[in-house]
């Protein structure tokens, strides 16, 4: 018997029941007792193992993106962008790369309805020949804050009250009244956009600015965009109420049933590009996560398509234990100076090490599919079989060597050490422009939702006045309508 032949897998199931040690179980219905009605014996190893395993079935819930659904498929290159990047998975038209995707709600807990107004997570893990590539984003192209120092606070404000355990508008509007750049996000979150019909009918954006690097070392600033081929659809309040009355997991069910029926969801991937030498030419900061790059200035360029053609084999192992990080990029793709991105490069891996353990990258869903080798050893739940005697580098007893060099960013960085805001805040122009593209009914729905948020009885006159001021700076007519509905005047 080769003791290392069989890795843990249901493919090697025995026809009879065993415990976790592989020992046979002849009775899985009765505990070992003294007599038929006597006390239970602690020596019943199978009972203790079964109950202890049950107690630990749940791992810590994600702080954000707890409620999620996923599927597997592939990415196919449809347009040549090798002049922009040396990334291997983009090396030519027709190249396909296997992937796994996870869609989620952001704020609400794991068992919450999928009809609540909330940003949706849109994360894709590509298993490339040069290691994994995680494209981590949302269905909205902007975020509430632009500096990661504020991230725990905005999430705390949007999560339930720690005393009542109820999400409350007064907390959200109170905190964000101090954050004028959050205004833009409201024009996505409280728009019809806030409740997609399901995961198949929503966009995906990585929000952050990244860089592509080609084989000559030339750098290009980019933003990634996913667009569903079946179009965008949203649920209005009355529609959402009908849907959730029938199924609070409607989006998860829709994704699973659609793939099971053979109708495979598809998204097209586009990029927007900018020359790094041009980043100071505009009235917004290209690294600012509260601003978009206007498509009339930076048109979408097609790259490829994602097809989801296989449901998950197991929800826990391929969804709950699936872990992403925007820091996971292959050669040819790298980071910008985006403040939020710089922190998330650390934060996502750190939270997974807390949730899943230091060896979470050994889990099948997270492990790269290309051959890999390093001297990271041991730690909790390390199930990788290793028989090397040398676990250091360099060594004359080990042939391990460095990989071939690939182009990296050589952008010059200079400045004084300081804690400060970016020079170009531009908090109100883009949300105002977005508001004016809507028809009258859509504008009225947005105003109604803002009125609901600002009508919380615990909100003060001062906070309402601040929000009317923000909205007035986005669009004067919008501010006037909001003030009229709330009988409040703006505080400029």
Q: Are 291 and 430 in contact (CB under 8 A)?
A: yes
Residue positions forming the annotated binding site: 348
Which residue positions form the known binding site for heme? 348
Tell me which DSSP letter residue 228 carries: E
Pairwise CA distance, residues 39 & 88, whole Å: 63
Indicate which residue of 46, 65, 208, 250 is catalytic.
65
Q: Quick check: 226 and 203 in contact, CB under 8 A? A: yes
CB-based contacts of 415, cutoff 8 Å, min separation 6: none
Q: What are the beta bridge partners of residue 168?
A: none
Report the C-alpha gap between 480 and 488 in whole angstroms. 9
Q: At what angle do helices 461-474 and 169-176 cross, to 10 degrees?
A: 60
**Angle separating helix axes 250-260 and 237-246, nearest 10 degrees:** 70
Nearest to 102 by CA among 370, 367, 369, 365: 365
Is residue 27 annotated as part of the catalytic site, yes or no?
Answer: no
For residue 354, indicate whether it is catalytic: no
**What is the helix, strand, coil percentage profile of the chain, to 5?**
30, 15, 50
Judge whether 267 and 211 are in contact, CB under 8 Å. Answer: no
Active-site residue among 108, 132, 138, 319?
138
DSSP string, 307-338: EEEEE-S-HIIIIIS----TT---TTEEE---
Catalytic residues: 65, 138
């Amino acid at each position: 018997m080769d003791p290392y032949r069989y890795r843990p897998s249901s493919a090697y199931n025995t026809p009879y029941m065993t415990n976790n040690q592989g020992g046979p179980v002849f009775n899985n219905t009765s505990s070992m007792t003294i007599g038929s009605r006597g006390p239970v014996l602690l020596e019943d190893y199978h009972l203790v193992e079964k109950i202890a395993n049950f107690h630990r079935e749940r791992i810590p819930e994600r702080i954000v993106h707890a409620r999620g659904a996923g599927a597997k498929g592939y990415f196919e290159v449809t347009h040549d962008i090798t002049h922009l990047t040396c990334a291997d998975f983009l090396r030519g038209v027709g190249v396909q790369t296997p992937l796994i995707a996870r869609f989620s709600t952001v704020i609400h807990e794991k068992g919450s309805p999928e009809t609540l107004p909330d940003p949706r997570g849109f994360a894709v893990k590509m298993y490339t020949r040069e290691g994994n590539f995680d494209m981590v984003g949302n269905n909205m192209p902007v975020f509430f804050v632009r500096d990661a120092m504020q991230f725990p606070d905005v999430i705390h404000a949007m999560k339930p009250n720690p005393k009542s355990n109820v999400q409350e508008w007064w907390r959200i509007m109170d905190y964000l009244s101090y954050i004028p750049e959050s205004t833009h996000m409201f024009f996505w979150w409280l728009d019809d956009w806030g409740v997609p019909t399901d995961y198949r009918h929503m966009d995906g954006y990585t929000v952050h600015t990244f860089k592509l690097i080609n084989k000559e070392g030339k750098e290009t600033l980019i933003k990634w965009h996913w667009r569903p081929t079946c179009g965008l659809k949203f649920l209005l309040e009355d529609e959402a109420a009908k849907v959730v009355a029938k199924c609070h997991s409607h989006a998860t069910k829709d994704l699973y049933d659609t793939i099971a029926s053979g109708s495979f969801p598809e998204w097209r991937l586009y990029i927007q590009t900018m020359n790094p030498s041009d980043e100071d030419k505009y009235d917004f900061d290209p690294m600012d996560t509260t601003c978009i790059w206007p498509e009339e200035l930076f048109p979408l360029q097609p790259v490829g398509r994602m097809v989801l053609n296989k449901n998950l084999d197991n929800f826990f192992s391929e969804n709950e234990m699936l872990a992403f990080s925007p820091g996971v990029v292959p050669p040819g793709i790298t980071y910008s100076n985006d403040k939020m991105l710089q922190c998330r490069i650390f934060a996502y891996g750190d939270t997974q090490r807390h949730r899943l353990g230091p060896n979470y990258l050994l889990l099948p869903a997270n492990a790269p599919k290309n051959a890999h080798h390093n001297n990271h050893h041991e730690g909790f739940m390390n199930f990788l079989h290793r028989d090397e005697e040398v676990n250091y580098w360099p060594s004359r007893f080990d042939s391990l060597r460095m990989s071939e060099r690939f182009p990296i960013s050589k952008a010059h960085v200079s400045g004084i050490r300081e804690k400060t805001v970016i020079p170009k805040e531009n908090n109100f122009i883009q949300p105002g422009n977005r508001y004016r593209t809507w028809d009258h009914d859509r504008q009225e729905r947005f105003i109604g939702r803002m009125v609901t948020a600002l009508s919380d009885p615990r909100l003060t006159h001062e906070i309402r006045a601040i929000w009317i001021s923000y909205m007035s700076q986005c669009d004067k007519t919008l501010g006037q309508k909001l003030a009229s509905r709330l009988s409040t005047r703006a505080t400029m």
